[in-house]
């Protein structure tokens, strides 16, 4: 009888543990979910040399929210719309010639197709992107003001599935 | 004097009846010799019932529709062959997923009664084992995309930014059919006799998956009979049953052999 009470108690405790402690209800931050475009900056006159940008701001055309990267950055993460087939980003280059804050906006429109992939109960689904043919042309470079600061934007990896390697290189 | 002895015998017999514990001899063995031993009979039969929890859950959980029938058959004094069968139609609105699981299941195994009944009581406190199998389908109703698009810092507050794009909920109506799973269950429970052949029962179960046929591009988040799945292979469940015993035969319980030998 004692053994029985013991085993019933153990079973009850185990059940409570199972019901209450739902570890897989939170999406762990290190889970690979929807990737962003990884863009690297290079110098036009020396295509092999990384050319970091300073205090870069970027935004989706039509959106009020602006992403701000403080300090210098040789590469940036650029999210893509998961519910569309193109995303047009405005990139604002900050320069300070002779102590005057100067901003120059150029637009890059990325075209792609999406695939929705199941991750887990807690994370739901993620979106993987396949960038359209670079000769389409893709991305489409347009000017937001009087001058272009980007000389060239090249797709180096059309499959946007991880953020390990750069997908796009910008020369300026 | 005679009257006194008679009164004494009456008193003793009443107190014995009140105690109702002529349990395997010892103290009561002697008065049992002088009094007639109550004939103890044990019912052997098929007990069938329904689960009360699943239909009642439908009242407070709109997404749940379930039904379970249970049965056990007494094979030996302490051993029962037991089975449960049921159907489930369950829609769950998880944080990132909304899905419906529809299917049926069957569990079969043994229960071992560990309770010593007094006289003609027929209660059970038992441990059991089951092997369960389910056949089901899942319908993915909608899902949210985990975007992970929080980048940089807010220029004004310098705080970490939130996701750049709004949450996207995709409405699909995708059916994943032909799914199946098998598992082993450990059961602990009790069954108490309410009145003539009617029993009330409760059991808790811990399950371990043995086989799980998952759909391509999705997961078995809920398995009928097994319940919610977790990262590991374990699950849990319970039921609350009302059963009726159909008596098939009655066995008279003879006094234990030791006592018989003593009498010889």
Q: What domains does chain B contain, in order, with CATH numbers?
A: 39-139+176-263 (2.40.160.20)
Q: Which of B138, B106, B105, B109 is nearest to B224 (CA)?
A: B105
Chain B positions touching A81 (Cβ under 8 A) are: 165
Whether residue B31 is predicted with pLDDT greater than 60 in this model: the reply is no
Whether residue B191 is predicted with pLDDT greater than 50 in this model: the reply is yes
- Confirm whether A124 is domain-assigned: yes
Asked if the C-beta of B125 comes within 8 angstroms of chain A's C-beta atoms, the answer is yes
Asked if the C-beta of B21 comes within 8 angstroms of chain A's C-beta atoms, the answer is no
- Confirm whether A12 is domain-assigned: no
- Confirm whether A109 is domain-assigned: yes
Q: What is the pLDDT along chain A (172 residues), one digit of tens a residue?
A: 666 667 667 766 766 665 555 556 788 888 889 999 999 999 999 988 999 999 999 999 888 888 888 888 899 999 999 999 999 999 999 998 888 999 999 999 999 999 999 999 889 999 999 999 888 788 999 988 888 999 999 999 999 999 999 999 999 8
Is the model more confident about A25 or about B89?
B89
Query: Per the CB < 8 Å rule, is A122 touching B96?
Result: yes
Our CA dihedral for A12, A17, A19, A24, rounded to 10 degrees, sits at -160
Identify the pLDDT of residue B12.
42
Asked if the C-beta of A101 comes within 8 angstroms of chain B's C-beta atoms, the answer is no
Backbone angles phi, psi at B144, to 5 degrees: -110, 145
Nearest to A126 among B146, B155, B186 (CB): B146
Chain A positions touching B127 (Cβ under 8 A) are: 4, 7
Identify the pLDDT of residue B27.
47
Whether residue B258 is predicted with pLDDT greater than 90 in this model: the reply is no
Selection from A60-69, B38-47, B200-209 with the highest mean pLDDT? B200-209
Nearest CA in chain B to A56: B152
Chain A positions touching B95 (Cβ under 8 A) are: 25, 122, 124
Nearest CA in chain B to A19: B236
Nearest CA in chain A to B147: A34
State mean pLDDT over B178-204. Answer: 94
User: Which segment of A141-145, B6-10, B118-122 scores lowest on mean pLDDT?
Assistant: B6-10
- Confirm whether A19 is domain-assigned: no
Identify the pLDDT of residue B243.
96
CB B222 within 8 A of CB B92: yes
Domain with A102 in it? 26-171
- Would you place residue B254 in the very low, low, confident or very high pLDDT band (cuts 50, 70, 90)? low
The count of structural domains within chain A is: 1
Identify the pLDDT of residue A115.
94
Asked if the C-beta of A103 comes within 8 angstroms of chain B's C-beta atoms, the answer is no
Please name the residues in contact with A11: beta carbons below 8 A apart, sequence gap of 6 or more.
B186, B188, B204, B206
Asked if the C-beta of B206 comes within 8 angstroms of chain A's C-beta atoms, the answer is yes
Identify the pLDDT of residue B241.
96
Backbone angles phi, psi at B19, to 5 degrees: -70, -35
Identify the pLDDT of residue B10.
43
Q: Which of B172, B139, B7, B95 is nearest to A27 (CA)?
A: B95
Asked if the C-beta of B114 comes within 8 angstroms of chain A's C-beta atoms, the answer is yes
Identify the pLDDT of residue B1.
46
């Amino acid at each position: 009888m004692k053994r029985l009470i013991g085993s019933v108690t153990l079973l009850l405790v185990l059940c409570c543990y199972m019901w209450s402690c739902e570890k897989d209800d939170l999406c762990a931050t290190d889970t690979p979910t929807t990737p962003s475009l990884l863009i690297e900056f290079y110098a036009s006159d020396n295509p092999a040399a990384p050319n970091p940008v300073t205090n870069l701001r970027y935004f989706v055309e039509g959106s009020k929210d602006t992403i701000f990267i403080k300090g210098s950055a040789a590469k940036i993460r650029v999210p893509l719309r998961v519910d569309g087939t193109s995303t047009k980003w405005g990139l604002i280059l900050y320069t300070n010639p002779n102590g005057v804050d100067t901003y120059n906006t150029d637009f890059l429109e990325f075209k792609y197709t999406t695939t929705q992939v199941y991750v887990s109960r807690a994370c739901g689904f993620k979106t993987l992107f396949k960038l359209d043919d670079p000769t389409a042309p893709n991305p489409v470079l347009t000017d937001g003001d009087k001058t272009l600061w980007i000389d060239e934007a090249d797709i180096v990896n059309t499959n946007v599935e991880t953020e390990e390697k750069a997908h796009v290189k910008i020369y300026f | 004097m005679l009257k006194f002895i008679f009164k004494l015998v009456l008193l003793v017999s009443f107190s014995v009846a009140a105690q109702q514990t002529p349990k395997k001899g010892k103290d009561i063995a002697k008065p049992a010799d002088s009094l007639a031993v109550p004939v103890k009979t044990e019912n052997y039969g098929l007990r069938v019932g329904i689960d009360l929890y699943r239909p009642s859950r439908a009242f407070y959980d709109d997404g749940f529709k379930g039904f379970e029938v249970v049965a056990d058959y007494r094979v030996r004094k302490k051993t029962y062959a037991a089975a449960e069968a049921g159907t489930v139609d369950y829609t769950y609105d998880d944080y990132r997923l909304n899905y419906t699981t529809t299917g049926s299941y069957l569990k079969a195994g043994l229960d071992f009664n560990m309770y010593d009944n007094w006289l003609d009581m027929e209660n059970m406190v038992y441990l059991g084992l089951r092997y369960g199998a389910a056949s089901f389908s899942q319908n993915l109703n909608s899902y949210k995309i985990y975007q992970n698009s929080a980048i940089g810092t807010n220029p004004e507050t310098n705080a970490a930014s939130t996701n750049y794009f709004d949450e996207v909920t995709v409405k699909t109506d995708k059916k994943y059919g032909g799914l199946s799973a098998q598992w082993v269950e450990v059961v602990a429970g009790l069954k108490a006799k309410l009145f003539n052949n009617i029993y009330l029962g409760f059991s808790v179960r811990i399950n371990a998956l043995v086989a799980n046929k998952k759909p391509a591009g999705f997961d078995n988040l809920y398995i009928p009979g097994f319940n919610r799945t977790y990262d590991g292979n374990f699950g849990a469940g319970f039921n609350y049953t009302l059963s009726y015993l159909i008596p098939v035969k009655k066995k008279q319980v003879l006094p234990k052999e030791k006592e018989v030998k003593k009498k010889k």
